[in-house]
Structure 1
Amino acid sequence: MACAASTISGVGAQSAPDAPAAAPTADNAVLLTVFLKHDQSRPLSELNAQLERQGFYKAFPPAGIEVVSWNVVMGIGQVVTLRLPASRLREVNRIFETTAWGAYRTEFYPTYDYKAIGLANHDKALQ
């Protein structure tokens, strides 16, 4: 899936306009887990300076995108989970491409909320 998400930014997709700022709803929301893997060959101060120069924290997270979690994972970097309407996936991808690359290597894992279904199946199995 990471390969599929990274191909979203293909040449043809670059010229497409950004989707309007829709809110996530039950029928259009996706969860997107993003691994921001640090470039461990460079010191953290250098990475942070690059992120500042590239405008990462000004651009991310974009307005209207819910940050579900944002954690530092020692030895990896940061792991961010977002909830967003599927129509805004390209917009989020472009922010990482233009402001995070160089300081981080990125991996993207789109998912969906299964909690209610899984718990309902569990409750049903107990009956």
Structure 2
Amino acid sequence: MLAAFQGVSPPGVEIVSRYVMMRIAQVVRLRVPDDRLREVNHAIETTAWGGYRTEFYPTYDYKAAAQKLRDEMNK
């Protein structure tokens, strides 16, 4: 999984953005299928930064669902 943060993502995982914050923190946004969320979280916590603390905040992309609803309402 560490390779994902160096520009190579595993199949089905897309790197959306990566920021280094004041040289003390990193924020990495990934697009992950919901059925792989647990696997990605575990890989990050166990391999990515070793002794450093990791925090994992899953959110959901509702853009496709909102567009579908908007299209149905406009029919």
Task: Please state which band the TM-score falls in when normalised by the shorter chain.
Answer: 0.5 to 0.7
In structure 1, C-alpha distance between the alignment counterparts of 2:63 and 2:22, rounded to whole Å: 27
Higher relative contact order (CA 8 A, sep 6+): 1
Correspondence 1:70 to 2:25: no
Larger radius of gyration: 1
Output the TM-score relative to the length of structure 2: 0.62
Q: Percent identity?
A: 64
Aligned length: 61
Encode CA deviations 1:3-56: one digit per residue, 9 max, x unaligned: xxxxxxxxxxxxxxxxxxxxxxxxxxxxxxxxxxxxxxxxxxxxxxxxxxxx73
* Root-mean-square deviation (Å): 2.4
Aligned to 2:37: 89
Matched residue type, 2:50: G
Aligned to 1:80: 28
Output the TM-score relative to the length of structure 1: 0.40
Structure that is richer in strand per residue: 1
Structure 1 runs of 4+ off > 4 angstroms? 114-117
> Is this contact kept in 2: 1:67–1:81, CA < 8 A?
yes
Structure 2 segments unaligned to the other structure (5+ residues): 67-75
